[in-house]
Structure 1
């Protein structure tokens, strides 16, 4: 993604942290219309303050910039949340 990073709304970070903590399998919808199913591993913040979700899918490990995510839906049974729409918004 070449555009200026748009931070995710602060309250939405909790869902990503839960997904990583429990290594949920997620259906991830991207802003460009693509989607993938992957296991949430961790999050990462770069020195330039861009934030990423690190996942493992059939294609291997991937870094997904948080402002490229449209929504996440847990595929793991008994997950602590359902589909969450994600939108960039400064804290």
Structure 2
């Protein structure tokens, strides 16, 4: 289990995407690509941080330290992409 966390600056982009309900494309460190709506973040009792995205009727938890890049697909968003 990797305990590293992302910087506060990068965390702010994730929070912004959730707050506005942006559609995002996530590129993970294992090269997997996921697309969905940024819904919320979650921190477990073990201090693991997750981004929750909605894909159709399903919700997925993506560990933040697995993110390589987040691209915003929503038009007129406050930012377009961020690399982790």
Q: Could you state the TM-score of these two structures normalised by the residue count of structure 1?
A: 0.88
Judge conservation of contact 2:73–2:80 (CA < 8 Å) in 1: no
Return the alpha-carbon distance in structure 2 between the equivalents of residues 31 and 58 of structure 1: 23
Structure 2 unmatched ranges of 5 or more: none
- Name 1:74's counterpart in structure 2: 72
How many pairs align? 84
> Over residues 8-67 of structure 1, what are the superposed CA-to-partner deviations in whole Å (9 max), with x where a residue is unaligned?
111111100110001000010000011011100000000111100000014710000000
Structure 1 unmatched ranges of 5 or more: 87-91
**RMSD, aligned α-carbons:** 1.1
Please state how far the C-alpha of 1:84 moved relative to its aligned partner: 0.3
Please state how far the C-alpha of 1:82 moved relative to its aligned partner: 1.3
4+ residue runs of structure 1 moved beyond 4 angstroms? none
Distance 1:34 1:51, change over 3 A: same
**Higher strand content, 1 or 2:** 2
Highest RCO, 1 vs 2 (Cα 8 Å, sep ≥ 6): 1
Return the alpha-carbon distance in structure 1 between the equivalents of residues 58 and 37 of structure 2: 10
